[in-house]
A and B are shown apart, each in its own frame.
Chain A
Amino acid sequence: MTADELSAIEDRHPQIFQRPAYKRFWPLLLMAGTVLYLGYALWFFSLPQVLRESHWERLPLFLSQWISYDLQPEFRLDQPEITPKYLRFSALGENPNPDWVIKNPDGTYTVQVDGDAKSVTFDKTKAAITANGVTVPISLTGGKPVITGPVPDWVTVHDDEIVAKLGFAGEVRVTVDRVKVRKRFLGWANFVFDTRSPFFGKPAGEVISLIVSGPELRPGTSNLALAADNFWNNAQWQHGDVWTKLLQTIVMAFLGTLLGGIVAFPLAFFAARNITPSGVLSQVLKRFFDFMRSVDMLIWALFFTRAFGPGPLAGSAAIFFTEIGTLGKTYSEALENIDDKPREGVLSTGANGILVQRYGVLPEVVPVFISQTLYQWESNIRGATIIGAVGAGGIGLKLWEAMRTNSNWANVFYMVLLTLLVVFIFDNISNFLRRRLSRTLHDYNRLQAERG
């Protein structure tokens, strides 16, 4: 291609090659603006400092706690006899006798953190930690623990304590007067029955046979009722409470959206410019919808929590007030977009106002209304989870409380899984119903088109 041909093309398409300067440079300006803004945001949130002071090493630890639990036996060496002690409410119940804590014939104890490959063996005078193919001998006689020989990098020596980090499997801490082990297990401990339950520690088959044909464990109650009660009131997982709170979240979204729809429905007719008798009324109602929407769901939630006390009533009321605005706006917009011919037809038969709306307008908009209401319900289930955390009831508050202690991540994950399940189920129900509706709507439109 010669230069002449190039300039010929350029001449033929001036609108592409000779655009005004602002059009050519606005992407550049936008990018420069974005970069400047990001720089400002970096400063505003003092991001470098926040990142420097953050503890990213906690992330894998927290994530591993979502799907695991640990046991922390402690051995006092200054007592006449060495015995393992467990934390109160440990996952093993009242009489722990795990097979990974071994009392050897020579009087020493061995704790297998991960089989024999990662373990610690000790008595009152010495300890030996084995991991990664190395055994580290520790002498406990000199007033502080001393490692004889080279120190591998997974062992940290402090003034009076030696800490061996054994990865996911756990860790061992040794001082002169105690040995503390943390052993981590994959899974959720005591998910079905807690340690106080008579069914605790029994294999599934035995539990089932007890329920089906066993003698009554608690006189006067059937074993099935007892098992259900023990499961429902499991102290560690609180299934009953979690499920009730989850139901509250669904109820909040359902009630708020439904009531919002019921109130918005008649108002939308008066707000739609093509239907309302008065333009002033239409403007007033539209500004009212905007107001209800713009006073955020959070503000309503905080107000109603104060007025009614914390709980699902406050949450439902908050969603209700926000939904009046959102649904009122979408309903009235749908009404303004209708085809006016059916309405005129009904009007020409001499029908009164309400009958015109019923037969001339409603058939056209009801599928749209229902579809939009379902959509709002679906998105309010997510919203209800969040506003729950400010006290408006439901699973949100429970999630927030479980997270605040930073120790209950398995419970948090359990609740997250249930929430995801609920969101998934309701998304699908709502999608299914909306597809059915849109098919009805589609058939209706096609029928109209065929009739001309």
Chain B
Amino acid sequence: MTSATLHSDATRQQADAWRRQTSLRRFYTALGVGLLLAAMFATMWFADEANAGHFFDRLPHILDFLSWLIPKDLNDVWRALFDIASPSDRGTQEFNFPLGRVYIWDGFYIPEYFELMLTTVNVALVSTFIGFVFAVPFSFIAARNLTPSPILRLVVKRFMELLRAFPEIVIAGLFAAIVSIGPVAAIIAIGLHSIGALGKLFYEINENIDMRPEEGLRAVGANWFERVRFADLPQVLPNFMSYTLLRIEINVRISTIMGAVGGGGIGEELKLAISRGFGAKTLALVLLLFITIVLVDQFSAWLRRKLVGEQAFLMSA
């Protein structure tokens, strides 16, 4: 037997082994994809069964649905947005645009929808502020390398987990019964959630800091507050700020949704406009909301780039 055949035998064995392995892997991949597709069709059927209207029954009517959305006179969208009287006004709610004007002084007014948008944005800003103020101290207690006490760390960590996982609408509903339904209940709900969400991101940043400044301050006898203030905070503050900006983006969206379930602001109006089929009002609101969200996102992205440079951040809820 020559060495050449030996070599080719070994090669063939290797090739067989490789082929076996790949075919097994292909089988598992196909099985996985098959299971996923089966789950997809099963859940589609389930969702369709449980829905009030069924997909294929409703599909032909999608165009009817879109036809109310586009108003006969497209200028009505601008009129709705800026509260200008419309010639289509017949005294119904659909075209009563000037009604909601918020007068600042004689003749000068803020259009209703801008005021509502402002409410929504303010809810997001104030609740992010609440989240930031509480999350910063919590994050230093919850970070493994900086915590003043391991027991306290565990308590704070669990507390933040609870705040993060607790459904916001329940907190909003609870406080709606206490401070009356409206934006304040939404602020409390989103603020509490933000404490948990920001706190988690913050303490993960804290656990990755450079410990040498901390050791230096410890060596000169600084206490916990001084160490956190002068050794740790300067390292993490740009990252904190940038996550907080990201949180503002998310909170604007959440506060819109909260508005739709009674938290005041633009969400409530949007829900009314869509459910009653007011095309011009709906388009005006969607346009305003869309532009605001794009502006907030762009502004926050610009500021984040200035703070931490081109660093990728995972979206987080």
Contact = CB atoms under 8 A, between A and B. Distances in A.
Contact of B180 (A54, A303, A386, A387): A54
A251 B51 CA distance: 12
B277 to A, nearest CB: 8
A375 B122 contact: no
Contacts of B256: 296, 298
Query: In which size bucket is the chain B interface?
Result: 35 or more
A44 interface: yes
B317 interface: yes
B270 A311 contact: no
- If over half of B's interface residues share one DSSP class (helix, strand or loop), that class is named, otherwise mixed; here it is helix
Contact of B179 (A44, A54, A314): A54
A310 interface: yes
B267 interface: yes
B216 interface: no
B289 interface: yes
Interface stretch (A68-76, A135-143, A211-219, A389-397): A389-397
B23 to A, nearest CB: 17
Nearest to A41: B126
Interface string B19-48: 000000000000000001001100110111
B204 to A, nearest CB: 14
Contact of B40 (A258, A393, A400): A258
Contact of B315 (A259, A330, A389): A330
B261 A389 contact: yes
B220 interface: no
Contacts of A379: 315-317
Interface residues of A, number: 72
A255 B166 contact: no
B178 interface: yes
B39 A254 contact: yes
A375 B177 contact: no
Contact of A294 (B122, B294, B315): B294
Interface of A: 34, 37-38, 41, 44-45, 47, 50-51, 53-56, 58-59, 62, 244, 247-248, 251-252, 254-255, 258-259, 290-291, 294-299, 302-303, 306-316, 326, 330, 333, 375, 379, 382-383, 385-387, 389-390, 393, 396, 399-400, 403-404, 406, 412, 416, 419-420, 423-424, 427
24 contacts: A34-B129, A38-B129, A44-B119, A50-B182, A62-B177, A252-B47, A258-B36, A302-B271, A308-B54, A309-B52, A311-B52, A313-B54, A316-B44, A379-B317, A382-B165, A385-B167, A385-B169, A386-B257, A389-B260, A399-B170, A399-B173, A400-B173, A404-B173, A419-B167
The 3 nearest A-B residue pairs measured at CB: A311-B51, A309-B52, A309-B53
